Structure 1
């Protein structure tokens, strides 16, 4: 009996699971790949966190080369070409332990040069997962109200924001470089949501949409619990209508906390608020008139899953998002979402099936959803069960892994 050939994958991202949503997806993928018997996967990352795993590799080449890397990055930014003139991919190529079949890129911002990606794509099979809009822009992550990237970036309003942080506007040139790379058909693209695939087409960089492969959630870890029991354990009000508001950075404008506050102030029902994520004194002050329970940023995934399962609903009025992991996790925990029909959220949450969706910026629509969920506990329970079922069916780790392995083998068999 002939065994399957060994599949060798390099997963490349800014960081590990501690570095944000995109890096967490890359970390999950690398771990799952290494659990397969005929796969060798190394996770090349720019900024390692506290947890180091055997399959991880340093993209920048260790402490001796880190100052050189940072100097290149500073000069690149100073010239207005943020993250362009950096040598990490060339060093990786020289230091690789195996000849990888596929190099799979994730979040490039602050870690990987588009020049390095093009250079590598001329020599090997490259896959790039689009976690945000930056692959199509001159550098910004989510353009929000700016539509210039649909044609050509110029006069960028986000030069002083992360990740650009520069005084010189080279966004037109940087976007043109990315467009040329895409136009040469040098890499194969993945979009986590159909919405992101549509943005790729809207950018004018692609004639065909990327392959849609959604993220995953640990459905064994994030699962429903008896709400009263878990609230008692966590010191939360056992019988209150508990509304979860959560984001990695609650002060980030695009997460819509201003709209969440407006909806809570207009809600004429008794409730308590569970606030999860990094915040600041200004954010906390805005919530001071509610029955508020604050956790801060929760690093422990098991504890986070309990907080998510403890809530009655998840209030998530995001203004720009791809396929939010927080929605995926709360769905798996059996907590329905009430939010805006923004980005990839409607692909996860069907209105009145898995929760309640209002049009973006429609605060009154949020209030109506919160009232409906409060007044109809049986409907809320149906939403919770449907959310859990969808998470298990579409977003489990085995489904995520299979989708990637099938795609990799398709690329190696058929080419780009």
Structure 2
């Protein structure tokens, strides 16, 4: 089955790229998106109940990109008709001594737009919203600011809407699990799926998130690449442990008043959706050494509801420090999920052509790094620029490029590229 462009993975990068190709490609039917299951893709980090939408960054580059995306969240007809964006605001607590909040506010004030941030105090946070946060432990936290312009989106609904629009415009969607990338004389010549189907294309885009390093490893062995030229040097698979608590109607009425609440670098609380409260807690990593002696990171298993016991206990401890009243009288978390994503050392995305000339028709759109869902409506436009060879300007090309290890220094503050 031949295409001009084969996109592997139907998360935010794959779907957004397919959508933007459907707008600009002369023949969208020559674009194929391939995922392991019918959409919305169940393994993707973006297939989720809700995700945070905000422009709060220490980086001018990402703040402007987020504003661009937020404009689309508010104006794209398929989103506005479905009501997927909810402007609930957010409240940011800093981890003590972090200073992230002050840096973000400084960036807002230096931007071309009005500063949306407002002050709040510990006392104000604990008495507002009918005292829902009155028992929150703040020993390790301090108030930073509130931003009423931020909010959240119905994640899997938005993902499906955008993909449905791409399919309506003739992009093809195929179901199959990629087993191996096939190396030919002039680059990648195809991909095998586990059922034996071979998909071929002129260009291949890996939008495979946490599965990128695992998928690339056999090809990297075949090419004989050293560690510095392997994709593991650019990103690492990791998961955020997510807890859902089902609320009674009275509880839902109480907690639905809350904005997004960020507890420093320790986690986040997202507002109520369908009587469920979502809490982003601990992180999980899974790195192994292959028979060829290389490090490869990938998800623990395909069942994302299976949580390591130590991770579960750490997450429960965090929840008890945030909202202890929700776990009183032996109450349990209703559902757990490991939300797998890929993380770069500097929290920048990886949107680039493979640097090895032997596979010059292979491209990446990955390393969401826990902050990329908000860019769903626009990021595909920039991936298309890379596929077309036009690039994204000096700063964009550098931030999203394949970098040497010394260039990928970790920024201060999780998911806040500087």
TM value normalised by structure 1: 0.30
TM-score, scaled to structure 2: 0.30
Greater fraction of residues in strand:
2
